[in-house]
Amino acid sequence: MFVRDGGLMMTVQTLTLELSNLMAMPEPVVIRKGMLALIAKEVRLAEQEIAEIRERYDVFSKEALFQAIQTGVVPEHPAWEDYIVWKNKEAHIAELRRMAEKA
């Protein structure tokens, strides 16, 4: 066991074993389900950030944001940064989904 914030913290191995016993499922299944839950959470957070950018600029796609920047409908700063974040989040989501499909 490790000590954290004045309290005891289980090792990953102990936690996995205890969850496995509690849930009556093999440890690899517990680990896989946990990883898939983490991936799903990360996808939701990235999608939420994209939704906030959509709302901020009242656009539906990153291409529409790009066009709005190019035509001066929205100020370049911080729109360019948000456009880059949007592109990166989409790539991140795609990679996470690829990993989840292989799990």
45-77 pLDDT, tens per residue?
Answer: 999 999 999 999 999 999 999 999 999 999 999
What is the mean pLDDT of the segment spanning 83-89?
Answer: 98
Q: Which pLDDT value is given to residue 10? A: 79
Number of domains into which the chain is organized: 1
Q: Which domain holds residue 20?
A: 2-102
pLDDT above 70: residue 22 = yes
Q: Which pLDDT value is given to residue 12? A: 86
Q: Which pLDDT value is given to residue 3? A: 44
pTM: 0.85
What is the mean pLDDT of the segment spanning 85-101?
Answer: 98
Contacts of 6 (CB under 8 A, 6+ apart): none
